[in-house]
A and B are shown apart, each in its own frame.
Chain A
Amino acid sequence: MLEFKLPSLGADMDEGKLLEWRVKPGEAVKRGQVVAVVDTSKAAVDVEIWQEGTIFEQLVAIGATVPVGTVLATLLEPGEDAETAARHAATPKPTPESPVQAVAVSAPPAPSPPPPGQRKAVSPAARARARELDIDVDAIDGTGPHGAITLDDVVRTSAQRVAAAVPADRATEMRKAIGAAMSRSKREIPHYYLAETIPMARAAAWLASANEQRPITARLLMGVLQLKAVAQALAQVPELNGFWRDNAFQAAEGVHIGVAIAMRRGGLIAPALHDVATKSLDQLMRELTDLVTRARAGSLRSSEMSDPTITVTNLGEQGTESVFGVIYPPQVALVGFGRMDTRPWIENGLPCAVPLVTASLAADHRASDGHSGARFLIELRERLQHPEEL
C-alpha cells in the first residue's frame, strides 16, 4: 500500500485545503498525473502524484484543511490486490498529525426528518466522514443502492458547502504568506548583494531583427533571452542553483527558474519554468506565456510550485532601474533585472547612447561567496553579448 501525502508547495505553505479530487477510488494513476486540487494561501494548485498505482481510498474529504504531509489517499501498488489491501485497511487508518478540520462553513441545511419508520441506509465510511465534516446524513440524498448514502454523497455535499464558502480574501492571505516566507528568509539567510550594468545593444538588435521576421504570434520578449542567459551562466556557477537544506547546500540537477509574476490584484507568485538551460527561446517563450496565463488564472501545477531552483524577478519596462530581491527559501539565490533604458556608456573610449540593464544578484552567504556571485554576473553579461548563442 502506498500513501499519497499533501506535498509542500513552497516555503510559505504549512497547510492546504482540498478543493477537488480529480480521480476516483479504483482509478489507475501515472506519474505526473493531476489527482487533486488544493488551495494554498496563494492559489489553487493542481497537485500531481509521483507514484504509480491504483487509488484505493481517499482519506481526506473535500473542504478539509490539513497540514503538509497528511496522507490524502492510499494507493494499491502495481500487482497488489484489493483484498490484501482491505485487510490492511481494517487496521487503524493513518491519521494526520492534527485532526482533520472542516472549514468554517455556513450552517448546515436544515435536516428534513426521515419518513417515519424508514431510516436511510448509510455506509459506515460515509457515516464516519459525515461526523467528521459535521454533515447531517439525514439531510442529504443518497445515490447508492436503494437510496443508500455513500461516501461520495457525503463528500459531494461537503464540496457544495465549501464552494459557497470559498471566496475568502485571497489578497490578504497571499500578503500573509509572502510576509511569512520573506520574514523567514531575512531571519535565516545571510544575504549578500551584487549588481552589474549590462550593455544590451547586441541583444536588443538581435531581438528586433528576429521579431521583424516573425509573425506577431511568434514574437519573443527580452525577458526570455534574459532567462536563458541566466540558465547558461548558472552552468558555470552551480553553487547558486539549488537548495539550502539540513545545514548543507544541495546543488540542483536542472535549472528550473522561478519566474516572479505579479498578480494584478496585488501579491506575486514565482512558479517554475522547467529546464531553461536546455530549451530553445521559442519553446521558452511559449511556456512562459502559458505559465503567466495560468498563474493569473489560478491554475498552476504542484511541481511548478515546489521545483524552482533559483528565482528571477524582472521589473520590466514599467519598473525601476534596479531591484535587489529577497531569496525564497530553500533557494539560495535570486537574480533581478531592472528596466532597460538607453543611457550614456563608454565603448572603445568613446561616449555613446546604449540600452543598458542593471542585473543584480541576492545570494545566500552560507552557500556561496561574493567571488562566485561576481563570476555569475560577469558570465551573465557575456552571455547577453552573444544573443545568437542563446
Chain B
Amino acid sequence: MNDKDIQSRIIAIIQSIAPELEAGTLRADQSLRRQVDLDSMDWLNVLLAIHDQLHVEIPEADYGKLRTLNELVAYVELKLGAQA
C-alpha cells in the first residue's frame, strides 16, 4: 500500500464519521480535527477504524504528532513499513 492508498483509506474512514466531508476540500497540511470538527470521541472512532482496517494501533502518547492528514498518513505508512 503506497501513501496515496493509505491517504484514500484514511479519508474514507473520516467520511464514515463525518459524512458531510467532501474529500477535495480537505487541506492535508492543516489541522485535521479543526477542519473536520472531530471531537475526542470522533477522533477515537477514527483511530479505532484505522486499527480495524489498517491494523495500526496508535498510542495516545502519539496524538500530538498527528495534527494534519499528511502527518497521519506518514505515521500509518511508517508503522505499516515497520510491520512488513
Contact = CB atoms under 8 A, between A and B. Distances in A.
A262 B59 contact: no
A219 interface: yes
Interface in A183-228: 208, 211-212, 215-217, 219, 221-223
B60 A219 contact: yes
Interface string A262-274: 1011000000000
A222 B40 contact: yes
Contact of A316 (B39, B47, B48, B61): B39
A81 B17 CA distance: 50
Given A208-B61, A264-B19, A221 B33 contact: no
A212 B59 CA distance: 7
B75 to A, nearest CB: 14
Interface string B11-42: 00000001110000000000001100111110
A320 interface: no
A204 to B, nearest CB: 11
Contact of B39 (A211, A216, A317): A317
B60 A211 contact: yes
B73 to A, nearest CB: 18
Nearest to B34: A318
B51 interface: yes
Nearest to B33: A318
- Which of A211, A216, A288: most chain B Cβ within 10 A? A216
A216 B51 contact: yes
A221 B48 CA distance: 13
B57 interface: yes
A112 to B, nearest CB: 41
Interface residues of B, number: 19
A265 B51 CA distance: 27
Interface in A242-279: 262, 264-265
Contacts of A289: 41
Contacts of A316: 39-40
Given A216-B51, A317-B33, A221 B58 contact: no
A76 interface: no
Contacts of B59: 212
A264 B40 contact: no
Nearest to B60: A211
- Which of B18, B58, B59: most chain A Cβ within 10 A? B59
A292 B17 CA distance: 12
B44 interface: yes
Given A221-B41, A288-B41, 11 more contacts: A208-B60, A211-B60, A212-B60, A216-B44, A216-B47, A217-B51, A219-B44, A219-B60, A223-B40, A292-B41, A318-B33
**6 nearest CB pairs, A to B:** A316-B39, A211-B60, A216-B51, A221-B40, A216-B57, A316-B40
22 contacts: A211-B60, A212-B60, A212-B61, A215-B57, A216-B44, A216-B47, A216-B51, A217-B51, A219-B60, A221-B41, A262-B39, A264-B18, A264-B19, A264-B37, A265-B20, A292-B41, A316-B39, A317-B33, A317-B39, A317-B40, A318-B34, A318-B39
